[in-house]
Structure 1
Amino acid sequence: MHTPMENAKKIELSQWPRQQHFEFYKNFSDPYFNICVELEAESLFNFSRLNNISFFNSYLYFAMKAANDIEPFAMRLVEGEVWLFEQINANVVQLKEDETFRFSYLQQQDNFALFCQHTKQAIALAKSQPFFSEQFYSTGLACNCLHISVLPWLNFTSFSHASNHSEYSGIPKLVFGKYNKRTGIMPLSIEVHHALMDGIHVAQYVARLKHYFDNASKYI
């Protein structure tokens, strides 16, 4: 798996308050835990509609932005060591007309306009290529990212992923579900590595994401 280690620093375990927690969880056969939340998204949905911008792009932008704010979401387990990355990007599933999917690689951008432009190009590129493409091997296997899926047809309350535990692990997996226009709720599944973080860190991430949703005009 490819990973730009020059943009990361190794966590010295002896100086890390979670050292014993890390040692406890790292060798579990399934060290991940999943939390599903009802995300209050009405404010962002209304903002997107009133300003004629993509609701999809806006919550992706904030999902990545929040991950770069919460330190444990930027940590990865690489060959038994913990690394903290300077920037977290995203691999996002895109559905083609033939009902197969591709992974689009989205890089964090300085502002929303640049992000929308970049996202449009990244999606077009991903859909134009076969599943196993040069991009898949060069960016799709990077660990300094989030894995994001969207199920806009389903309102779910639990979720599980296909998994392949490799030498690079700890990538958070997010799944956004169907937005309910009546309640303003959208389900969000968050799966993370327990050796790298605990429930309080997931709660911090959700709170940060909600802050961006409720104050979109300050960041878009």
Structure 2
Amino acid sequence: MAHQPFDLTSWPRRWAFDFFKDYEQPCFNICGDLDIGRLPEVCREGGHSFFLVSLFAAVETVNQMAPFRLRLDGEGVRLYDRIHAGSAVLREDTSFDFCYFPFEPKLETFLQEMDQTLACFHRREPRYDFTGQDDVLFFSVIPWISFTSFSHASTRALRSDIPRITYGKFHQRDGRFWLPLSVEVHHALMDGYHVGMYFQTLSQKLQDLAVTLS
């Protein structure tokens, strides 16, 4: 969990941090469709898990964008070197639980490690425990619905400064695949601009992965 203090004094949006950090509900959520090219077809043809490939892209994009690696630390902020994923995973009995996916920067390594992690998960032998960690993003998939809006259950005990990223059911339009995406973040740590850049970067990354895996 390597991290460093974040310099608030030279932060151009320091005023926004001070303004939003004590809000009773400080998070905002943006939903939209991502152009993901042919990625679902490529994953199906190559025998790859679309869930794991798209999860890799979501976490890799987070790790390339400093605002998504910021966490509150009392009255200050810390910046993590690397963020991992805690994802909801469906069990065969339609219940779900949370699974920890440490990030690996190489796609092949990530997919191999996560295949083993999922196998342990389904045997109810958790491979990792991320309880109490905040160097994570909360990830989930609602693969039955191409949603246009989304909201999360919340509690005061749950860290509101951890980004929450949710995928919906991909669909085809104009000969391309589109993926509903919900991004919920803490407004003290970032703004709509940063979420917009996340959407753009992730869309391009998913399209590039379709070429890489072809």
Q: CA deviation at 1:50?
A: 3.6
Equivalent residue of 1:191, what SS? strand
Equivalent residue of 1:187, what SS? strand
Contact 1:176 1:187 in 2 (8 A): yes
Contact 1:40 1:186 in 2 (8 A): yes
Q: CA deviation at 1:159?
A: 0.8
Q: CA deviation at 1:46?
A: 2.9
Match among 55, 64, 69 for residue 64 of structure 2: 69
Residue identity matched to 2:42: F
Per mean C-alpha deviation after superposition, the further-off stretch among 43-52 and 149-158 is: 43-52
How far apart, in 2, do the equivalents of 1:75 and 1:160 lie?
Answer: 22
1:157 aligns with 2:160: no
Residue 112 of structure 1 corresponds to which residue in structure 2? 107
Equivalent residue of 2:18, what SS? helix
Residue identity matched to 2:24: S
1:199 aligns with 2:192: yes
Structure 2 unaligned residues grouped into runs of 5+: none
Structure 1 unaligned residues grouped into runs of 5+: none
How far apart, in 1, do the equivalents of 2:212 and 2:66 lie?
Answer: 20
1:33 aligns with 2:34: no
1:129-164 alpha-carbon deviations (Å, 9 max, x no partner):
39xx895xx414311111000010011111111112
How far apart, in 1, do the equivalents of 2:158 and 2:93 lie?
Answer: 33
How far apart, in 2, do the equivalents of 1:167 and 1:159 lie?
Answer: 18
1:19-43 alpha-carbon deviations (Å, 9 max, x no partner):
1110100000000000001111233
Q: CA deviation at 1:214?
A: 1.7
Bigger proportion of residues as helix: 1
How far apart, in 2, do the equivalents of 1:24 and 1:107 lie?
Answer: 33
Contact 1:102 1:127 in 2 (8 A): no
Equivalent residue of 2:72, what SS? strand
Contact 2:38 2:210 in 1 (8 A): no
How far apart, in 2, do the equivalents of 1:163 and 1:80 lie?
Answer: 22
- Identity of counterpart residues, as a percentage? 35
Contact 1:153 1:177 in 2 (8 A): yes
Contact 1:143 1:169 in 2 (8 A): no
How far apart, in 2, do the equivalents of 1:70 and 1:219 lie?
Answer: 22
Equivalent residue of 1:15, what SS? coil
Structure 1 moving runs of 4+ over 4 Å: 217-220
Contact 2:37 2:210 in 1 (8 A): no
Q: TM (normalized to structure 1)?
A: 0.88
Equivalent residue of 1:14, what SS? coil
Taking the TM superposition and a 5 Å limit, the aligned residue runs for 1:137-148 are: 138-148=129-139
Residue 86 of structure 2 corresponds to which residue in structure 1? 91
Contact 2:138 2:165 in 1 (8 A): yes
Cα distance, 1:205–1:84 mapped onto 2, change above 3 Å = same
Per mean C-alpha deviation after superposition, the further-off stretch among 101-110 and 23-32 is: 101-110
The count of residues paired between Structure 1 and Structure 2 equals 211
CA RMSD, aligned part only? 2.1
Contact 1:103 1:140 in 2 (8 A): no
Contact 1:62 1:212 in 2 (8 A): yes
Per mean C-alpha deviation after superposition, the further-off stretch among 165-174 and 69-78 is: 165-174
Equivalent residue of 2:146, what SS? coil
How far apart, in 2, do the equivalents of 1:134 and 1:211 lie?
Answer: 31
Residue 176 of structure 1 corresponds to which residue in structure 2? 167
